[in-house]
């Protein structure tokens, strides 16, 4: 027995050592310093601009945060207070380890996501030592900052409202086959809103530096996550969506009582407790006031066997969120917004919608807070899309009623009617007034991000095409773009800011004309 105990202790000590070293990008079992994440250099799916231009349009302000790999600063576009962004400056080499592949992987993942609780990625600049990413700015505080300022936990209903959004975001990422692998309070931004009829809070998940697609995670044997939040199986270099469930479960436990379920100042002993110690609820006086349904959810999330752990898609529908479900059920699309969605999908072609969707990236945070919360509540199946039936007296959503046993009637309506998949950026583009979406500053930002050369008043059409469609497989949209008529200079087609503004003007004339004058879109429905 003594021999076995000694062996187990030695194994835990080695895991603690490997955890510390691999978090820095080193493999203690190798004499070579490898690429930090052992991935081949990924092909960019976005345009990387020369860094000489990064400080031309942006006024870099105070530091928002600093980690081992990156520094985040507030950046104001051309000194305009409403147009704030987060500039994440990431070092290409850390402790002699090349991080370029990991950085490109993070930005590629962000570039594919379209969700109200995930920061938009707008553009990137590259220099010898750094890659600078311009991201959507969340004006709130991190969950960690919020906790440090509070003397006691938030009211339970507020905690549920915040975590319901976290769970829905995690379920969306699972649909996209992405594992975040670093859920912790510093990576959850929380902003208090005025929308008392909705959540009253808007959350944003940040820092995708450790994130991987599910397939890539199978080949990545790094130990990821912060010590208190790492899942038992992750210590054995095993990753799946269940590891994210565990990490969020630890956050939820801490949010309720301001203590971790597994605590120790010694990392080796902490890992032993995570893998072996039975879950208990302490302090008892706090947990005695917590509803049994919520304690049941925490137990299911902190099940040590990942095969028995609750599935991420089942968490938002758990009875612990009964009060939130009542709020969710009360939210519908107004007749006015139904009409806006109908015009958007039936009058515009795919290329026109793409330009509008792209422009929503540059909305100032205050312009879309209400829409963020409402879209999250409308997205009852957590796919990041709504199914819009323009010919129906009401709007339906794929799978939104399946938990209530109404899937048959939904399938009938899907088969008998046209419907359109509404992404988050579709929703913003259709609902928000065009004076806001296509204001002069927004159009300038759009032109600037699609212009690889920047600081010129024109861009070659083929350069804008590459910027707009890099990583996009929609050939139909590309053909539409190729057919757009532009001016020529020296025999080459060019696009100016004025051309972009005129293009938007034509789009909104199509949206605003009377029904008798409208032309049907050449875009087929699903």
Q: Which residues are annotated as a binding site for ATP?
A: 88
Which residues does the annotation place in the binding site?
88
Contacts of 321 (CB under 8 A, 6+ apart): 160, 164
Place of tokens 């409208």: 518
Place of tokens 């910027």: 467
Tell me the pairing of strands 48-50 and 121-126.
parallel
Cα distance between residue 433 and residue 246, in whole Å? 41
Q: Give the SS3 label for residue 181.
A: coil
Cα distance between residue 172 and residue 180, in whole Å? 11
- Computed on alpha carbons and rounded to an integer, the radius of gyration of the chain in Å comes to 24
Contacts of 269 (CB under 8 A, 6+ apart): 12
Cα distance between residue 171 and residue 105, in whole Å? 20
* 119: DSSP letter: P
8 A C-beta contact, residue 126 and residue 91: no
* 116: DSSP letter: T
Q: Give the SS3 label for residue 50.
A: strand
Q: Give the SS3 label for residue 392.
A: coil
**How many Å from the N-terminal Cα to the C-terminal Cα in the chain?**
64
Cα distance between residue 375 and residue 360, in whole Å? 14
Contacts of 400 (CB under 8 A, 6+ apart): 380, 381, 410
Tell me the pairing of strands 188-192 and 492-496.
unpaired
Phi, then psi, of 220 in degrees rounded to 5: -100, 110
Shortest CA distance to 23 belongs to which of 187, 204, 234? 234
Cα distance between residue 249 and residue 300, in whole Å? 9
Q: Count helices and strands (H / E) in the chain.
A: 20, 18
Q: How far is CA 37 from CA 78, 92, 113, 217, 291, in A?
A: 36, 13, 22, 10, 42
Read out DSSP for 69-81?
Answer: SEEEEEEEETT-T
């Amino acid at each position: 027995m003594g021999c076995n105990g000694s062996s187990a202790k030695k194994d835990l000590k080695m895991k603690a050592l490997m955890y510390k070293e691999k978090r820095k990008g080193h493999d203690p079992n190798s004499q070579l310093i490898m690429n930090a994440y052992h991935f081949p250099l990924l092909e960019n799916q976005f345009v990387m601009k020369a860094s000489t231009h990064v400080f031309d349009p942006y006024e870099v302000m105070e530091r928002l945060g600093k980690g081992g790999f990156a520094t985040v600063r507030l950046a104001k576009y051309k000194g305009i207070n409403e147009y704030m962004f987060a500039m994440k400056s990431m070092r290409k080499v850390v402790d002699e380890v090349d991080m370029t592949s990991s950085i490109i992987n993070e930005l590629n993942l962000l570039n594919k996501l379209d969700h109200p609780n995930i920061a938009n990625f707008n553009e990137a600049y590259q220099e010898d030592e750094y890659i600078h990413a311009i991201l959507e700015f969340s004006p709130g505080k991190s969950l960690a900052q919020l906790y440090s300022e509070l003397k006691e936990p938030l009211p339970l209903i507020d905690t549920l409202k915040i975590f319901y959004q976290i769970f829905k975001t995690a379920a969306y990422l699972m649909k996209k086959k992405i594992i975040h692998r670093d859920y912790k309070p510093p990576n959850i931004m929380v902003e208090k809103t005025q929308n008392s009829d909705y959540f009253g809070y808007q959350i944003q998940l940040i820092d995708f530096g450790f994130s991987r697609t599910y397939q890539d995670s199978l080949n990545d044997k790094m130990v990821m996550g912060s010590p208190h939040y790492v899942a038992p199986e992750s210590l054995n270099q095993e990753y799946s969506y269940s590891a994210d469930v565990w990490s969020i479960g630890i956050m939820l436990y801490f949010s309720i009582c301001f203590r971790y379920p597994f605590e120790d100042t010694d990392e080796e002993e902490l890992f032993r407790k995570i893998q072996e110690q039975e879950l208990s609820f302490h302090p008892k006086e706090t947990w005695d006031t917590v509803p049994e349904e919520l304690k049941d959810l925490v137990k299911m999330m902190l099940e040590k066997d990942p095969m028995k752990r609750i599935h991420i898609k089942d968490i938002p529908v758990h009875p612990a969120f009964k009060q939130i479900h009542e709020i969710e059920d009360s939210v519908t699309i107004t007749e006015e917004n139904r009409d806006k969605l109908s015009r958007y999908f039936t009058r515009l072609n795919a290329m026109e919608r793409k330009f509008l969707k792209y422009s929503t990236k540059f909305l100032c945070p205050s312009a879309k807070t209400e829409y963020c919360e409402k879209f999250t509540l409308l997205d009852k199946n957590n796919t990041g899309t709504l199914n819009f039936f323009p010919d129906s007296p009401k709007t339906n959503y794929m799978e939104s009623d399946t938990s209530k046993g109404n899937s048959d009637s939904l399938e009938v309506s899907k088969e008998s009617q046209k419907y359109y998949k509404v992404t988050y950026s579709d929703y913003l583009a259709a609902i928000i007034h065009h004076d806001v979406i296509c204001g002069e500053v927004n159009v300038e930002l759009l032109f600037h991000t699609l212009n690889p050369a920047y600081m010129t008043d024109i861009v070659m059409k083929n350069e804008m095409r590459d910027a707009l469609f890099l990583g996009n497989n929609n050939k139909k949209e590309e053909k539409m773009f190729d057919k757009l008529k532009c001016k020529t200079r020296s025999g080459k087609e060019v696009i100016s800011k004025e051309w972009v503004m005129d293009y938007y003007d034509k789009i909104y004339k199509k949206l605003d004309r009377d029904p008798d004058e409208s032309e049907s879109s050449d875009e087929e429905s699903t």
